Amino acid sequence: MRVPKEELKRLIKNKLHKAGLSESHADTAADVLVFADERGIHSHGSMRVDYYAERIAKGGINTNPNFNFEKTGPCSGVFHADGGNGLVAAKEAMVEAINIAKENGVAIVGVENMSHSGAISYFTNMAADQDLVALSITLSDPMVVPFGGSEPYYGTNPIAFAAPSSDGRKITLDMATTVQAWGKILYARSKNESIPDTWAVDEKGEPTTDPHKVNALLPIAGPKGYGLMMMVDVLSGILLGLPFGSRVTSMYSDLSEYRKLGQLHIVINPSYFTDINQFKQNITTTMNDLNNIKPAPGFSKVLYPGQNFDAVIEDYQTNGIEIVDDIYNYLVSDVVHFNKYNNKSPFAE
């Protein structure tokens, strides 16, 4: 069904507030989740509210965290999230990074002891909206085999990037370091459809086309994706003194405990390196150049990264954001959560 953006945000905010978040934190969290739904990234939108509400209600997210930003150098700092909501902590840390980059040209800000932070392009877009370039990376659940391995070690460890143009558009990259997202496996299970043998492996580490036998995901481009997810793990885990690799806790292992996840924001002020107006114009030229490249057979147009979101956003702004009926019914109900995630295996359903 279709729901107007502001109504969807209000419903999510109310549900998270009822679960235990403060009104201001619930408002920020709802904004990040609607950002994802509005772009068609439904795996990180309103479908997550039930999970967040259960973790909040069971004490696995600190509803009264002592957020503290520790500036460790002219261009660096650590945002201590104190087990608080990751959507809120990552946003507040990006605000600090933006302020540092504006003043000193570059900022590197880590976030430690946070919970899941959703679609991380939300945070890089914050910087691009202020004529800055940003990269954000974060830890996630161990669901991926290292190249040549048969057991999960790393998470999908996403990477987001954003840069501003001269006409208001943005180049936006938001990607996991796996061939395919876990949500695609779940979708294939629900349809009893097979999957390509390049997506995942079974318990023996063998490629599988049966979504019900998936025991781990595969990294993109083999050793290259493996290297990228290791890089993310080092910079958003080990660098911040946090659990890393297989030591990162699952989203579902114990909803009464804090996750202790990490995230790293890198923000660059282009005006410290070149003329900002020329920089933005060159980004616009890049976008236009890509759109004007002759498409390959089977393609109608070459898109710049993030352009695929534009049509979705325009449609949803006009006709309302499309969400599953069951999710809407949950959001308008008096139920806080369905008590279905605690100690659930990420590969169980």
Active site residues: 116
Half-sphere exposure (CA, 13 Å, Cβ side) for 164?
22
CA distance 34 to 321: 9
The answer to whether 188 touches 195, Cβ cutoff 8 Å, is: yes
**176 Cβ contact partners less than 8 Å away, ≥ 6 residues apart:** 156, 157, 158, 220
CA distance 34 to 98: 22
The H or E element that residue 214 is part of is none
**287 Cβ contact partners less than 8 Å away, ≥ 6 residues apart:** 165, 169, 171, 304, 307
Measuring CA to CA, how many Å separate 161 from each of 15, 74, 170? Answer: 30, 23, 10
**290 Cβ contact partners less than 8 Å away, ≥ 6 residues apart:** 302, 303, 304
CB atoms within 10 A of CB 89: 28
Query: From the CA atom positions of the chain, what is the Rg in Å?
Result: 20
Give Cα 200 distance to the centre of its chain: 21
Output phi, psi for 55, to 5 deg.
-65, -40
CA dihedral 99, 30, 20, 59 (to 10 degrees): -80
**CA torsion through residues 53, 55, 60, 61, sign:** negative
CB atoms within 10 A of CB 73: 9
Where do the DSSP E strands lie in the chain? 2-3, 68-73, 76-80, 106-114, 133-138, 159-164, 170-175, 200-201, 216-217, 261-268, 321-322
